[in-house]
Amino acid sequence: MLNPFFRNQGPCSILEILKLLEINGNNFENHKVYDVKDLLSSTIKDLTFFHSKKYKDLANKTKASFCITTDKLKSELPKNCTPLVVNNVLFSMSKVTSKFYPDAINDNFDNEVTNILDTKYKDKTIFGKNVLVGKKVVLGSNCSIGHNTIIEKNVSIGNNCSIGSNSIIRNTIVGNNVKILDNCIIGKHGFGFFPNNSKNIRYPHIGFVKIEDNCEIGSGSTIDRGSMSNTVIGKNTFLDNQIHVAHNVKIGENGIIAGQVGIAGSSVIGKNVKIGGQAGISGHLKIGDNVEIAGGSGVIKDLPDNSKVMGYPAKNIRQFLKESKWYIILQLLIPKLSYIKM
């Protein structure tokens, strides 16, 4: 769908892009590039990037005409995709993305919001004190908004939704029958940057957050918008309090996630997944359908469908309990063995 939050300044000629990346353009015709997208969603008009073998299956199938990549990875691209070889793929892609979407570099607040009392929604919405609404915001029927909440420009909220107090919602599309509780921050940029000794460089986040129908977002939770793709909370998914969902994360339908869980960037969570409190999931992982992750677990690798895991690093729950049993036995035996030795 068309991004309603960030304006694309393209098209740009490929020669402009090559110059920006300091690549010799003598062997290139002056094609137009209309957008920058990830490997999966790219079309023949777009430029994409490929920085890790983990994504080689997507790279094999990309429809993009141009791809920023490395010399080692370029052979994975299809014939229709021309590689633009660089040393640092993500840094180079950030430069190109900034050219197409310059307003996504910073994350400034919306300074054109107005009090909801001065909008067409004053007689259509239940609201508390000091509620601020940006331009072109869409609020469905039968919605309520708590005190001191800010809904920034172009945000769309469906029917029968409840937004708590002291929350900020930007760069977000919310479905129907959604509850967002107090003190939530949704749609700000994620923790994407390149470490640099003199000055860390932020990656522009041009995606948004999509919260599908019948979801609940617990108090104090944060959901970051996507960098190249969108962050998605699937239908009928319930998030407990103080949960962090990082950029580009996709959570499938019917998920149940307990308090203080952290899901790192670009991980994909399947359908019907249950995650216990204070569990952590590393970035760029694929968690299958019907997976159960026990509280306090640390997930650092992909999990197939129907897995049940616990511990750090997370492992099959039966294996974990079996190993824990022997650990307890050893702890009981060690003092006795020491006494016998003496």
Number of CB atoms found within 10 A of residue 115's CB: 13
Active-site residue flag, 247: yes
> Rounded distance, CA 234 to CA 252, Å?
5
Are the C-beta atoms of 322 and 338 separated by less than 8 Å?
A: no
> Rounded distance, CA 205 to CA 193, Å?
10
Residues in the chain: 342
Identify the CA nearest to 301 among candidates 276, 324, 284, 277. 284
106-114: Cβ within 8 A, 24+ apart: 107/188, 107/189, 107/205, 109/150, 109/152, 110/134, 110/150, 110/152, 110/153, 110/170, 112/153, 113/150, 113/151, 113/152, 113/153
Q: Is 54 helix (H, G, I), strand (E, B) or coil?
A: helix
**Helices and strands: H and E segment counts in the chain:** 4, 37
Per-position b or e across 120-131, b if 16+ CB within 10 A of its CB: ebeeebebbeeb
Active-site entry in 189, 205, 244, 247? 247
Question: Which sign does the torsion angle of CA 315, 320, 326, 329 carry?
Answer: positive
Q: Is 124 helix (H, G, I), strand (E, B) or coil?
A: coil
State the amino acid at position 341 in one-letter form.
K
* Residues annotated as part of the active site: 247
